[in-house]
């Protein structure tokens, strides 16, 4: 699977990460699934009541849920929640054990959710991103959860793909 990440969404994540540096920030990932690929057309930030710390942040969950519902309705279901994103200031874009636990929680409600992580090299000018997908396997005897790294490709979306 390839995750197609709109340049506009990537820039929005980087701007949010730089604005709150050295604190973590994040938000929600929006788009659609197309066959084996996922298209991330937009992201939203943490919300007005979010709390930011050096090594974690707590989003404004109510605001994010309202934003997901609003965009889903405005686009007649074309745009949907795909997962979360957050920043690792002065760090790595690798997924942590806490990030894995969050992805597992999300997977209880969203099929194969994404976790995008952006990190900068300390300069706040060069951001890298990593992407993981959570998968639940329901066997007859036990359930298994796995986290799979995903390939990311940036693309320039057509102007008519913008959402408010």
Q: What per-residue confidence (pLDDT) applies to 144?
A: 87
pLDDT interval class at 164 (50, 70, 90): low
Domain that holds residue 38: 2-157
CA distance 150 to 40: 13
- Whether 143 is covered by a domain: the verdict is yes
- Whether 59 is covered by a domain: the verdict is yes
End-to-end CA distance of the chain: 28
- Whether 55 is covered by a domain: the verdict is yes
- Whether 163 is covered by a domain: the verdict is no
Q: Are 118 and 125 in contact (CB under 8 A)?
A: no
- Whether 146 is covered by a domain: the verdict is yes
Helix (H, G, I), strand (E, B) or coil at 132: strand
- Whether 164 is covered by a domain: the verdict is no
Greater confidence, 127 or 139? Answer: 127
Q: What per-residue confidence (pLDDT) applies to 1?
A: 83
CA distance 103 to 42: 19
What does pLDDT average to over the chain? Answer: 92
CA distance 10 to 14: 6
Domain count, the chain: 1
- Whether 162 is covered by a domain: the verdict is no
- 124 contact partners, CB below 8 Å, separation of at least 6: 17, 18, 21
- Whether 131 is covered by a domain: the verdict is yes
Q: Where residue 147 sits, what CATH number does that domain have?
A: 3.40.140.10
Residues forming beta bridges with residue 151, ordered by sequence position? 2
């Amino acid at each position: 699977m390839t995750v197609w990440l709109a340049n506009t969404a990537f820039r929005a994540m980087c701007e949010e990460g730089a604005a709150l540096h050295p604190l973590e920030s994040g938000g929600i990932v929006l788009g659609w699934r197309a066959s084996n690929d996922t298209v991330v057309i937009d992201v939203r930030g943490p919300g007005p009541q979010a709390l930011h710390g050096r090594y974690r942040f707590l989003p404004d969950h109510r605001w994010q849920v309202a934003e997901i519902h609003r965009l889903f309705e405005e686009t007649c279901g074309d745009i949907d929640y795909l997962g979360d994103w957050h920043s690792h200031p002065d760090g790595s874009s690798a997924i942590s054990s806490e990030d894995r636990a969050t992805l597992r929680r999300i997977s209880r409600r969203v099929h194969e959710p994404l976790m995008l992580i952006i990190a900068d090299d300390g300069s706040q000018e060069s951001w890298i991103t990593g992407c993981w997908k959570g998968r639940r396997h329901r066997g007859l005897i036990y359930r298994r959860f796995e986290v799979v790294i995903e390939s990311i490709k940036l693309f320039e979306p057509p102007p008519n793909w913008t959402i408010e």
